[in-house]
Amino acid sequence: MNDWTTSHDRVLAQRNAEGWMFLIEAARDLRTTGAIAPSGKALARALTDPVRAQAPRPLAVLEAGAGTGAVTRTLIPELPRASHLDVVEANPRFAARLRHLVTTHPDLAARPAQVNVHQTYVEQLDIDQRYDVIVSGLPLTNFTPVQVERIMARYMELLHPGGTLTYFAYLGTRKARALTASRAEARRHAAVDDIMAAYQRTYATGRWTVWGNVPPAYVWHLQRPLVSAETDQLEPQTDWASR
């Protein structure tokens, strides 16, 4: 067996193990895990585009909801020199896996302090730092409108003026939920979509469809304005916010 075969086999075995780990965590808690498999390469690339777009200047980057590291693995080699990446993951088993990824990644051997893994909910992240790019893998359409308001407000607060938030949403989930879930669930999903639509109207700079992911997904880029004006305030939401 040559070196290429063994390293290729190692990568396949690792992907397989991660696939199983993801599935087990989804079975434990599908609402928070948000998917039954990690994102594919095409989605990871679309999500990390703002990092490539702003290179080679040093960047502060936050990845929220990193799971087994499918997007983190694409991000690390793209980080310009002297950049910093904070990875936030709520699930302690995923966070342990991410710490292993970071401590063993060959690109970080000479600069381990470049990446920190935080095991916490991103809305509770207690950090005195602002970011040029936030990459969010959070399954927002599984959350309550109150949680989504809180997370989006925190993202905007954590961005530098001019910074970019990039996130994804699977295609067709609202229709699927309307057909299969309870009316209360369908209403919750619609209310979250309304909140996100308000953010998109105010801050979106682009949306792309990634057909090469299973399932296909939209990737959104939102930009915090350089100068925050009174008019940047989002309209108050419906009575969901007080539930």
Which residues in this chain contact ligand SAM in the complex, by CB under 6 A? 32-35, 38-39, 64-67, 70-71, 88-91, 94, 121-123, 137-139
Q: Please, what is the minimum distance in Å from the beta carbon of residue 29 to ligand SAM?
A: 8
- Which of residues 124 and 228 has its CB atom nearest to ligand SAM in the complex? 124
- Which of residues 67 and 163 has its CB atom nearest to ligand SAM in the complex? 67
State how beta strands 131-136 and 60-64 pair: parallel
- Which of residues 108 and 217 has its CB atom nearest to ligand SAM in the complex? 217
Q: In what order do the strands lie in the sheet with 84-89?
A: 115-119, 84-89, 60-64, 131-136, 159-170, 217-223, 204-210
Q: Please, what is the minimum distance in Å from the beta carbon of residue 135 to ligand SAM?
A: 8
Q: Please, what is the minimum distance in Å from the beta carbon of residue 166 to ligand SAM?
A: 11
Q: Please, what is the minimum distance in Å from the beta carbon of residue 207 to ligand SAM?
A: 18
Q: Which residues contact 52 (CB under 8 A, 6 or more apart)?
A: 78
| Local structure of 130: helix, strand or coil | coil
- Which of residues 66 and 76 has its CB atom nearest to ligand SAM in the complex? 66
Between CA 220 and CA 168 the distance in angstroms is: 6
Q: Please, what is the minimum distance in Å from the beta carbon of residue 89 to ligand SAM?
A: 5
Between CA 8 and CA 101 the distance in angstroms is: 17
Would you list the DSSP string of 69-98? SHHHHHHHHHPPTT-EEEEEES-HHHHHHH
- Which of residues 26 and 225 has its CB atom nearest to ligand SAM in the complex? 26
